[in-house]
């Protein structure tokens, strides 16, 4: 039996990884020994003679520390080298295997059929070196981790991905998957840049625009930079291999990129809150200028003076807050723009590939039959402008904790691949038809929520689930308590506190009221716009409101369905639909509250498998 | 509305639920009431002894609720049905839930038996999909094996996709 070829990862695994491990260890040691060091420094500053007397000892200590650091460094690199020696992957006939572990050996096998998606990520240093980490997702449920092949050259990663898909396709076609020797001739990690034997090369640079009629006004300022970095293959990388030409491809236009940066991040919320606060302050200032008639004249003058001062201070504070918020917004906008710089989404064969990021480059590839859902979401701002975000739901493995895939940064959300961050609503259908025609056949006959849902939604969203309402209740309780305490104890300090607390409470009431009004409007809009629709193959659930999300998924991908009712719903003859799909980590539930009982029953019938 | 699924659990499950709940309530009550009571004996603090009494009353109320009131209702509401293609489950007293789990989505099935269940000769069947598990508690051991085998077989017959 011929042994399949073993592929090693790049030697940067040893020194780059070793350096990282070294820094971490040193950091831990420094933190651990901090108190001792601090005591020593304090001793020296207090008693300079001590340092002179103990000069020799001191030098010895410093020398000792350096020696220890060197030993630790040597150990780190030795360990990494050992790990590297025992880390390799190979393409077995039926599965992809990765071997690791020095003392306790670990072998991970992934049957080709189970490969969900193959992603590629590179930090800035790795990009400069032309390296990246490949992570292979499997549908392993909640406590399964992605298989990560660290530190491979970009071309090796491409070959790896290609090979995985080739094997999978062969397996699907029922062929006895022989390891395709020609395809498998992967440039090994040590291959010199620009190896002469490389097959037909295709540059990573985008294919001419003419080939993509669906791409409207493509290209943006950051694309040039991204192309540059894509062409600069890095220190260790060899040129890439030929690939099947994509059948559909698009990027972001300048306008889309800037809008994405400005509105597609959470910092915008901070600015909005800041603006709200300023408005509140203004209203309060106006209200304070109208004096209360029942207050004695002198005290009124006094309090007006005091309040004027407080108002000034508050105004300055708010101004500072607003400036900070604006700066944060600008920074995060730039961050988002960088992370979406060089954005390219394309359909290649039977998979969707999304590439983005100027500094940290990421490449996500999902096989079409692994796409769980198509999500079209609109935040309030997007809605007002008529734009939306399109993403694909896919199964995600658990991140490594330190992995950036779990952070909600720059629009990255677990279980979602953003295929367009900011697109006109009218172009949605076009993009979906181009990128994933399999999902283009959407149901059209929507079943709206029950009429009674509006009343229930208003009650639910403004009262018992509304943050504004509870803010008002909590503030009122505190307010009353403070006043009662002040009157009961007759403590002058408490009365002083009240002069500050009263306006603060007014402000909180205002915020709560605004929140409640927003919630109420959201509830009405939700009831008007929410619906579900089914046809033979697909289900679509739209949840409206101030922001709007509509999720479409094939019937095949529904893991199980659930209809839930609470006593109030049973009185109102409504029910909550819950369709659970496997996207994300451990599944995603798509629910729609308050459809009529009959519709729920019909939906359950629809859910029953058909022969 | 859709008719309820037909199969019920084994009646002995009520006893299992009772024992299980009794165990937990007893442990919790002992952790709360005993220390309070002992301290109040020593410190002669009226507040502490009232707290102990309140805790004890709550414990008794919980006993009554979980041992007398809930099990029959819960048993009445817990229904399941195995059809050719899917498993249907209906459960819940206040929040009533109905699940439809197609066998083509089932990844694996297994039976499990805790010590209390074993004493009653019962077993539970767990059906796992890619997005969560469902458990049918309290089936006769024989029946549980049958259900598991049937679910596994139906799941195997179905086409592979996730």
Per-residue pLDDT band for A571 (boundaries 50, 70, 90) equals very high
**Which residues in chain A have their CB less than 8 angstroms from residue B130's CB?**
139, 141, 395, 559, 582, 587
A43 in reach of chain B (CB within 8 A): no
Q: Which of residues 74-113 of A touch B (CB under 8 A)?
A: 113
What pLDDT score does A454 carry? Answer: 92
What pLDDT score does A409 carry? Answer: 40
Top pLDDT among B29 and A296 is at B29
Q: Is the pLDDT of residue A94 over 50?
A: yes
Per-residue pLDDT band for A192 (boundaries 50, 70, 90) equals very low
Query: What is the CA angle B32-B38-B39, rounded to 5?
Result: 90
Q: Is the pLDDT of residue A410 over 70?
A: no
Measured distance CA(A231)–CA(A594) in Å, rounded:
54
Would the CB atoms of B129 and A605 count as touching at under 8 Å?
A: no
Per-residue pLDDT band for B71 (boundaries 50, 70, 90) equals very high
Find, in chain A, the residue whose alpha carbon is nearest to that of B162. A557
Would the CB atoms of A564 and B94 count as touching at under 8 Å?
A: no
Per-residue pLDDT band for A546 (boundaries 50, 70, 90) equals confident
A564 in reach of chain B (CB within 8 A): yes
Q: Give A449→chain B minimum CA distance, Å.
A: 17
Q: Is the pLDDT of residue A110 over 50?
A: yes
What pLDDT score does A29 carry? Answer: 81
* Lowest mean per-residue pLDDT among A405-414, A420-429, B51-60: A405-414
Q: Is the pLDDT of residue A400 over 70?
A: no
Would the CB atoms of A582 and B97 count as touching at under 8 Å?
A: no
Query: What is the CA angle A407-A378-A354, rounded to 5?
Result: 55
Measured distance CA(A433)–CA(A424) in Å, rounded:
15
Top pLDDT among A585 and B96 is at B96
The count of C-alpha atoms lying within 13 angstroms of the C-alpha of A503, restricted to the half-sphere facing its C-beta, is 24
What pLDDT score does A187 carry? Answer: 35
Write down the residue that tokens 């690199």 correspond to.
Answer: A77
**Which residues in chain B have their CB less than 8 angstroms from residue A143's CB?**
none
Nearest to A253 by CA among A341, A152, A348: A341
**Which residues in chain B have their CB less than 8 angstroms from residue A565's CB?**
95-96
What pLDDT score does A288 carry? Answer: 58
**ipTM score:** 0.85
Per-residue pLDDT band for A186 (boundaries 50, 70, 90) equals very low
What pLDDT score does A402 carry? Answer: 37
3-state secondary structure labels for all residues of A355-395 = EECCCCEEEEEEEHHHCCEEEEEECHHHHHHCEEEEEEECE
Of A580, A604, A609, which has the smallest distance from its Cβ to B131's Cβ? A580
Would the CB atoms of B132 and A559 count as touching at under 8 Å?
A: yes
Phi-psi region at A378: left, alpha or beta (left = phi > 0; alpha = psi -120 to 50): beta
Compute the average pLDDT of residues A400-412.
Answer: 41
Top pLDDT among A471 and A609 is at A471
Compute the average pLDDT of residues A183-187.
Answer: 37
For residue A177, the tally of other CB atoms under 10 A from its CB is 20
A103 to A79, A85, A87, A97, B127: CA distances (angstroms): 11, 12, 12, 18, 37
Mean pLDDT, chain B, whole residue set: 86
Q: Give B128→chain A minimum CA distance, Å.
A: 10
Q: Give B118→chain A minimum CA distance, Å.
A: 29
pLDDT digits 0-9 by tens, A16-32: 888 888 888 888 888 87
Would the CB atoms of B97 and A566 count as touching at under 8 Å?
A: no
Top pLDDT among B112 and A286 is at B112
Of A113, A566, A608, which has the smallest distance from its Cβ to B100's Cβ? A608
* Lowest mean per-residue pLDDT among A106-120, A187-201, A511-525, B12-26: A187-201
A169 in reach of chain B (CB within 8 A): no
Of A559, A566, A580, which has the smallest distance from its Cβ to B94's Cβ? A566
Compute the average pLDDT of residues B43-65.
Answer: 86
Compute the average pLDDT of residues B91-116.
Answer: 87
Indicate the helix (H) or strand (E) that contains A332. Answer: helix A297-340
Q: Backbone phi, then psi, for A433, in 5-degree steps?
A: -65, -35
What pLDDT score does A240 carry? Answer: 54
**Which residues in chain A have their CB less than 8 angstroms from residue B85's CB?**
608-609, 611
Nearest to A76 by CA among A152, A14, A149, A30: A14
Top pLDDT among A304 and A491 is at A491
Of B102, B104, B161, which has the smallest distance from its Cβ to A369's Cβ? B161
B90 in reach of chain A (CB within 8 A): no
Of A560, A581, A586, which has the smallest distance from its Cβ to B101's Cβ? A560
Compute the average pLDDT of residues A334-361.
Answer: 85
What pLDDT score does A102 carry? Answer: 82
B95 in reach of chain A (CB within 8 A): yes
Q: Is the pLDDT of residue A116 over 60?
A: yes
pLDDT digits 0-9 by tens, A311-340: 677 778 778 888 888 888 888 888 888 888
Would the CB atoms of A560 and B102 count as touching at under 8 Å?
A: yes
Top pLDDT among A273 and A469 is at A469
Find, in chain B, the residue whose alpha carbon is nearest to that of A371. B162
User: For chain B, give me the number of helices (H) and strands (E)?
Assistant: 5, 7
**Which residues in chain B have their CB less than 8 angstroms from residue A172's CB?**
none
Would the CB atoms of B131 and A609 count as touching at under 8 Å?
A: no
Of A113, A559, A565, which has the smallest distance from its Cβ to B130's Cβ? A559
Q: Which of residues 130-149 of A touch B (CB under 8 A)?
A: 139, 141
A171 in reach of chain B (CB within 8 A): no
Compute the average pLDDT of residues A261-289.
Answer: 68
Per-residue pLDDT band for B110 (boundaries 50, 70, 90) equals confident
Find, in chain A, the residue whose alpha carbon is nearest to that of B84. A609
**Which residues in chain B have their CB less than 8 angstroms from residue A563's CB?**
97-98
What pLDDT score does A563 carry? Answer: 94
Would the CB atoms of A588 and B131 count as touching at under 8 Å?
A: yes
pLDDT digits 0-9 by tens, A367-388: 888 888 999 998 888 888 888 9
pLDDT digits 0-9 by tens, A54-78: 677 778 888 888 898 889 888 888 9
Query: What is the CA angle A534-A601-B14, rounded to 5?
Result: 130
Mean pLDDT, chain A, whole residue set: 77
Top pLDDT among A321 and A295 is at A321
Compute the average pLDDT of residues A272-278.
Answer: 72
Would the CB atoms of B100 and A597 count as touching at under 8 Å?
A: no
Would the CB atoms of B2 and A139 count as touching at under 8 Å?
A: no
Top pLDDT among A575 and A411 is at A575
């Amino acid at each position: 039996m011929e042994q399949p070829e073993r592929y090693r990862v790049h030697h940067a695994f040893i020194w780059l990884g070793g350096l990282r491990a070294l820094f971490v260890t040193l950091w831990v040691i420094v933190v651990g020994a901090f108190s001792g060091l601090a005591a020593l420094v304090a001793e020296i500053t207090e008693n300079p003679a001590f340092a002179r007397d103990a000069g020799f000892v001191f030098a010895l200590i410093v020398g000792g520390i350096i020696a220890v650091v060197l030993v630790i460094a040597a150990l780190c690199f030795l360990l990494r080298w050992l790990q590297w020696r025992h880390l390799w992957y190979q393409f077995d006939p039926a599965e992809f295997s990765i071997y690791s572990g020095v003392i306790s050996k670990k072998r991970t096998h992934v049957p080709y059929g189970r490969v969900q998606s193959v992603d590629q990520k590179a930090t800035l240093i790795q990009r400069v070196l032309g390296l990246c980490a490949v992570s292979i997702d499997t549908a392993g449920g909640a406590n399964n981790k992605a298989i990560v092949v660290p530190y491979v050259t970009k071309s090796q990663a491409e070959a790896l991905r290609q090979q995985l898909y080739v094997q999978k396709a062969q397996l699907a076609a029922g062929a006895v998957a022989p390891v395709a020797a020609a395809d498998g001739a992967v440039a090994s990690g040590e291959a010199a840049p620009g190896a002469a034997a490389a097959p037909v090369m295709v540059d990573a640079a985008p294919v001419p625009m003419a080939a993509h009629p669906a791409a409207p006004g493509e290209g943006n300022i950051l694309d040039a930079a991204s192309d540059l970095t894509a062409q600069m293959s890095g220190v260790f990388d060899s040129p890439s291999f030929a690939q099947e030409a994509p059948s559909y491809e698009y990027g972001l236009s300048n306008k889309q990129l800037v809008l994405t940066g400005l509105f597609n991040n959470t910092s915008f919320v901070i600015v909005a809150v800041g603006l709200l606060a300023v408005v509140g302050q203004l209203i309060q200032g106006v209200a304070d200028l109208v004096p209360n008639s029942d207050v004695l004249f002198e005290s009124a003058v006094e309090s007006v003076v005091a309040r004027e001062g407080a108002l000034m201070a508050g105004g300055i504070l708010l101004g500072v807050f607003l400036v900070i918020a604006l700066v944060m917004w600008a920074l995060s906008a730039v961050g988002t723009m960088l992370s979406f710089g060089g954005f390219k989404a394309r359909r290649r064969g039977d998979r969707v590939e999304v590439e983005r990021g100027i500094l940290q480059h990421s490449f996500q590839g999902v096989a079409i039959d692994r796409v769980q859902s198509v999500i079209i979401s609109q935040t309030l701002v997007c809605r007002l402008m008529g734009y939306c975000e399109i993403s694909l739901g896919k199964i995600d493995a658990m991140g490594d904790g330190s992995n950036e895939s779990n952070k909600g940064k720059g629009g990255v959300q677990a279980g979602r691949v953003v295929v367009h961050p900011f697109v006109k609503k009218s172009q949605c259908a076009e993009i979906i038809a181009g990128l994933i025609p399999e999902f283009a056949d959407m149901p059209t006959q929507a079943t709206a929520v029950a009429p009674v849902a509006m009343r229930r939604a208003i009650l639910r969203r403004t009262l018992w689930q509304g943050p504004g309402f509870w803010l008002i209740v909590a503030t009122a309780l505190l307010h009353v308590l403070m006043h009662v305490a002040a009157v009961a104890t007759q403590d002058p300090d408490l009365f002083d506190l009240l002069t500050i607390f009263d306006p603060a409470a007014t402000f909180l009431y205002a915020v709560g009221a605004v929140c409640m009004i927003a919630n109420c409007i959201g509830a009405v809009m939700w009831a008007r716009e929410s619906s579900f629709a089914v046809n033979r193959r697909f289900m679509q659930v739209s949840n409206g409101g101030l922001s709007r999300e509509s999720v479409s998924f094939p019937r095949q991908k529904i893991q199980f369905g659930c209809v839930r009712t609470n006593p109030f719903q049973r009185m109102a003859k409504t029910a909550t639909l819950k369709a659970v799909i496997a996207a994300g980590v451990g599944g995603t539930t798509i629910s729609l509250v308050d459809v009529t009982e009959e519709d729920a029953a019909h939906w359950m019938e629809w859910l029953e498998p058909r022969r | 509305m859709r008719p309820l699924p037909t199969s019920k659990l084994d009646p002995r499950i009520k006893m299992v639920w009772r024992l299980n709940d009794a165990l937990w309530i007893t442990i919790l009550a002992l952790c709360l009431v005993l220390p309070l009571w002992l301290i109040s004996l020593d410190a002669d603090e009226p507040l502490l002894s009232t707290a102990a009494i309140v805790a004890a009353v709550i414990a008794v109320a919980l006993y009554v609720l979980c041992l007398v009131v809930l099990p029959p209702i819960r048993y009445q509401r817990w229904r399941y049905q195995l059809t050719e293609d899917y498993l249907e489950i209906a459960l819940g007293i206040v929040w009533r839930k109905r699940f439809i789990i197609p066998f083509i989505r089932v990844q694996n099935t297994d039976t499990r038996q805790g010590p209390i269940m074993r004493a009653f000769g019962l077993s539970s069947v767990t059906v796992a999909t890619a997005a969560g598990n469902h458990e049918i508690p309290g089936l006769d051991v024989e029946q549980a094996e049958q259900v598991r085998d049937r679910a596994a077989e139906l799941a195997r017959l179905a086409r592979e996709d996730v």
